[in-house]
Amino acid sequence: MDTTLVSHRIAVQCRQIIDLHLPDYIDSAQRMLQVPLSPADTIHPMLRKVYGLAEEVVNPDSDDATSQEAWDNLHVLVDNYLDGKWSTTCLTAVIIYGLINTDKLDHTFSIAITRQNGKSVVESGEKTLRLLAEKLASSLNPAQTDAWFLQNLIERLPAKHADFHLQSAHVIEQLLE
């Protein structure tokens, strides 16, 4: 199913729950959390944030002011999504390499390559992996769309680099806040 249609269906269901005007907004948030989600990476990041806010509303450790603020922000996000006022997003390649010690994973290290409008930022706490990612990024055609650029970068990742073994790599879309 088209991810835009899935996201729209979820947003409409959230709006319908808001419109029920249940006596307690916490009840509404709990009902929202029951709306079936597709895998999280197939819905718009604004709706992933709606679910995060709903979880904050129902969190028993949240005070009333925090819950009310989360509920108000949730309203705005759902309305903005349905009105086509989408928040700015970026794409990030999330890459995990691991150190293997005697046939078992000992440590993991991550690389995040964020790209928006043709500009990239590479982040990693591990210098060797950061340099690898920067070298790969500089070898790609910068005129590619952000999605193609990151996908092509992932395809070029070596399974093993120095003592590091590739564990996973995927691209996510996330909100810029």
pLDDT value, residue 42: 73
Q: Say which residue, 157 or 4, is predicted with more confidence.
A: 157
pLDDT above 60 for 1: no
Q: Which of 36, 13, 22, 3 is nearest to 147 (CA)?
A: 3
CB burial string 39-56: b at 16+ within 10 A, e below: eeeebbbbbbbbbebbeb
Q: Which residue has the higher pLDDT, 154 or 40?
A: 154
Element (H, E) at 13: helix 3-19
Q: How many CB atoms lie within 10 A of CB 2?
A: 8
Of 155, 1, 2, 171, give the one whose Cα is nearest residue 89.
171
Across the range 110-114, mean pLDDT stands at: 96
Q: Where are the domains positioned within the chain? A: 3-82, 89-175
**For residues 1-6, average pLDDT:** 67
End-to-end CA distance of the chain: 28
Question: Is residue 9 packed enough to be buried (19+ CB in 10 Å), middle (13-18) or exposed (0-12)?
Answer: middle
pLDDT in tens, 41-99: 678 888 889 989 999 999 989 898 998 999 999 999 999 999 999 888 899 999 999 99
By the 8 A CB rule, do 122 and 111 touch?
Answer: yes
Give 6 or 61, the one with higher predicted confidence. Answer: 61
* Angle, vertex CA 114, rays to CA 113 and CA 115, nearest 5: 120
Q: What was the pLDDT predicted at 40?
A: 59
Prediction pTM value: 0.77
Q: Which two tokens stand for residue 101?
A: 């010690």
pLDDT for the residue 39: 66
Residue 38 pLDDT = 66
